[in-house]
Structure 1
Amino acid sequence: METSSTGDAWGESSNRDESRKLPSSRYKGVVPQPNGRWGAQIYEKHERVWLGTFNAEAEAARAYDVAVRRFRGRDGVTNFKPLNEADDDDAAEISFIGSRSKVEIVDMLRRHSYHHELQQSRRSFGADKMKTAPSRGAAMAGATESPVGAQRQHLFDKAVTPSDVGKLNRLVVPKQHAEKHLPLQDAGGGASNGMLLKFEDGCGRVWRFRYSYWNSSQSYVMTKGWSRFVKEKGLEAGDVVSFQRSTGPEKQLFIDSKVRAGREHTAAPMPRPPVQHFRLFGVNIVRNPATHRDDTELTSSQDMFKRQRTEAL
């Protein structure tokens, strides 16, 4: 389980000490906080993972239940009624939780964005998909595969700028395309709000980017995960990133990239042919066929042979 800092992952030690003086919660995984709020936590390999602080005790208990479903699976004991796969909404949530990593689930709970991203997933995939999907069990195991041979609808292209592939580690999504194809709810909340978007590339690899709205620049951006995509795809300024979505009820997102026109035709340095060695009259002759000085080099070798021959006489 990866964490950014000890305090962020396990909670403040002062809160732990003070919470011991407060009455315990009636819910599993919930601890009272001195400010009247409630914290949620779960243990992973005997280490405490902090899930965040919530206004209501029941809200913290539900956050714990979400983490239990991801960390413990079907065997986890929750505070509230277990999810039922026969129910469309519950089946959608089971698939949503199973297709996200533990780190992603914890991140959503801490940011209080879990329910927003769950609702978006329900709208995208649809209840009918959840009823008939043969890979529901695979989703619980963490599968991320998209439907094979899915028909795609082209959304938009973006020619990346130097800042898109530079040290800022973010891609600016044109506003008209962001609001039409990748809408964000409560976009005015600043860079701290946002959601995780999942894309699949042409090789079937899944990429996840943090997608949010920045008030400071009034722009939609993809941040966390983007720099890795740039590095592994070898993107340079002027290259084009293409976004698509499947036309079926699952609404899977896809991403492709291609180098800018002309860059693929840039002549790569030709490999240098191996240096040729041969022996003539007891003298080593070296010839390098990769240069325009071949004849000169051979002549120089012959002169050297003559000098050595004369000296020998």
Structure 2
Amino acid sequence: MNPTRQPSDEGPSSRITSTPAGLLQFTPPTWYEGIVPQQNGLWSAQINFNGSLVLLGTFKSEVAAARAYDSAGTKLKGGDFYRNFLLTNVTIHESYFQSSYSNEAIMDMIRDGSYERKLIDTVWSQQRQYQYIGYLAMPTCLDAIPGFVFEEMFHKKLILNGIEGQNILVLPHQARSYYPPFKSTGGLPLVFRDRVNRPWEFQYCYNNSTQSYIFNMGWSKFANEMELRTKDTVVFYRCMDWRNFPPKNFDMVDIIRDANPKKPRRR
């Protein structure tokens, strides 16, 4: 069974006919980064890069404009930026797709509305490698939290030993950029929140047998309660809450599910 390529539900396009002047008197606010509401009810997207403002076009929906910002940030800034949406089974592969194009080509695709379709088609064409079954989805408003932005720290596609066996998660090397490397036997407790604000505590420590940094205590509980499976991807974020001043920082854990229908989950 092949995955379904979900169409872009917010219709990203910069080729938009403006609403007649005076029809909308109120300009709604936005929680999204890089988004400017227009008086005619449309939304423009822009991003700062190397001291210059890069205009990304005008969009029919706030979500489409916010996705354009995230896509541009992925190309122009790599992982070093705060995104509007949590990653999905499409956008987790965005850097791979973008690596075949120049900065200018990616910005042009975003502006002319062809970017998301080409991205989804590329991921779909590689579905045997990614082993997805079901929808390939761009982020929606359900993948955002109003007032929050997310910097991806690292992610890990689960293998058997990450869920069962030793009940540990072996961390990728990118984790060392965010958590201090050490070889203490005591470990360091780290607290993450999920997208519904539940706290999860993992012990971060060095494992001599694998010669790697791991999460051990707390990981088994998380894996069991979240019903994790091999080929699920666990993503760790550093988040910023802009609803208060000064903004608050915290760490977050989220899951990109492997949509295999052979073994349904309870929830």
- TM-score, with structure 1 as normaliser: 0.34
> By percentage of residues, which structure has more helix?
1
Q: When the two structures are superposed, what TM-score results if normalisation uses the length of structure 2?
A: 0.40
Q: Which structure is larger by alpha-carbon Rg, 1 or 2?
A: 1
